[in-house]
Chain A
Amino acid sequence: MHRVLQDFADPFYFRQVLPDVWSGFLINVHMMVIAEALVLVLALLMAIVRGLPGRGAKPFRGLAILYTDFFRGTPLTIVAYAFILGIPGLRYAGISNYSNEVYGIVALTVVYTAYVTEVYRAGIESVHGSQRMAARSLGLSYGQALRYVVLPQAIRRVVPPLLNDFIGLQKDTAIIGAIGVTEAAAQGQNFASSYFNFTGFLVGAVFFIFLTIPLARYTDHLIKARELRERAAMV
């Protein structure tokens, strides 16, 4: 037990490695914030496209399905390698000269957009058709019914699973580290290979945990507050 503590949780190394892992962790947070913002918007657009009615929209629906099927089925590691190693190798002037971090963010966005599209879609489909019908019967257009009636209800319902996916995304920023961005996990790895001590990983883990827990509690709070406001008093 002593050996384990010494190797993974040494107080001396803990303090020594802390600044490096912290600076790495800021990169994780940076990648995560940008990717999550992009995913929130892109996945919503994708889910809307998937739900478009009519024959004219069929090719667009098809493309959206193809996209989600492909990227939901592909491991992030493979997509990340493809972007981080593959795109610079193409040597295309416009797209091949960004930093690994940028390609990492793109890989995370591309993969998680596919997951979150499905989450949004489930939310949209969970809103009963009579809501859309009521909106349309008032003269609201398809888009207005979606914007003011369907989506607000759909998005509220999927907040918990959305958060779940975002915790996944936060943690998967570490995969980008393994491929070429010196974020928290990579800093821990560097430290481990220099000092033969793994305390850096513990530091990284602590940072990740402290990032997700407040977010989870805050989401619980939001859901509770809304129920109190909108639902009839519970018996």
Chain B
Amino acid sequence: MTTGHFVSLSGVTKRFGDLEVLRKVDLDVDEHNVVCLIGASGSGKSTLLRCVNLLEKVDEGEIVVDGQTITNGAVDVNALRRKIGIVFQAYNLFPHMTVLQNVALAPRKVRDLDPKRARATAMELLQRIGLEDKAHEYPDRLSGGQQQRVAIARALAMNPKLLLLDEITSALDPQLVSEVLNLVRSLTEVGMTMIIATHEMSFAREVANKVCFLDAGVICEQGTPEQIFTQPTEPRTREFLARIIEAGRM
């Protein structure tokens, strides 16, 4: 099935036991676009991201990525993940490897680059994110913001066509958030296709082509950032945004 969109979810339902965490979700993401998922914790943002690279198995519905249906069980999972990067809230760097080894591992083992080239590519990326001086440190020696930037570099090292960001600033101290967001902003400038689950509303408003508000596993409302943030039509969206404003987060 070709939809013309780079990512296309139709009728996606995901259950954990009796709990439906995603209910009949439809979502299209075009190439070089940024889609932001907003909504309370537990609304299904993370699960949605994880379904797109098959870290979670979809119970019903269909997901098409890059013209390929990935939910019919016949897809090569490892090949699919090669073109989809994901960055997690808790960084999940490999603690027994240096920063450089973290970034170079997948290029070496998955893209089959020889070690020297994999290291050179990794070093280039570290330069790009301004952490080349930390290349030979272990992750635990870095600040949260630095670790998260390394995690982004690790995902970028696979030259993904799509990047999924799962609340990547939620575990960071406030003063470390901007360095990570700046890096993400630079990715939007080079046209990286991204789906971003976030609580950073002003950032979403700034970078998103489309914003989706999730509530209880349903995409309650989606539209341009202007539309969602200034003229939300759904009462639940309004209520959510009102609480965000009340908390001083926007």
Contact = CB atoms under 8 A, between A and B. Distances in A.
Interface stretch (A7-15, A37-45, A129-137): A129-137
Interface stretch (A64-72, A138-146, A189-197): A138-146
Most chain B Cβ neighbours within 10 Å, of A137, A140, A148, A230 = A137
Interface string B147-160: 00000001100100
Contacts, number: 63
Given A133-B55, A153-B96, A231 B158 contact: no
A135 to B, nearest CB: 8
A136 B94 CA distance: 12
Nearest to A149: B94
Contacts of B53: 137
B78 A232 contact: no
A138 B105 contact: yes
B230 to A, nearest CB: 35
A195 B210 CA distance: 93
Contact of A230 (B84, B96, B154): B96
A140 B106 contact: yes
Interface residues of A, number: 22
B92 A148 contact: no
B110 interface: yes
B81 interface: yes
Interface size class of B (residues with CB under 8 A): 20 to 34
Contacts of B105: 138, 140, 148-149
A2 interface: no
B96 A152 contact: yes
Contacts of A230: 95-96, 138, 140
Nearest to B91: A134
Interface in B71-88: 78-79, 81-82, 84-86, 88
Contacts of A139: 78-79, 81-82, 106, 110, 158
A137 B141 CA distance: 24
Given A139-B158, A148-B109, A229-B138, A134 B81 contact: no
Nearest to A147: B109
A153 B97 CA distance: 10
Interface of B: 53, 55, 78-79, 81-82, 84-86, 88, 90, 92-96, 105-106, 109-110, 138, 140-141, 154-155, 158
16 contacts: A134-B92, A134-B93, A135-B94, A136-B55, A137-B53, A138-B105, A138-B110, A139-B78, A139-B81, A140-B78, A140-B105, A144-B109, A153-B96, A231-B138, A231-B140, A232-B140
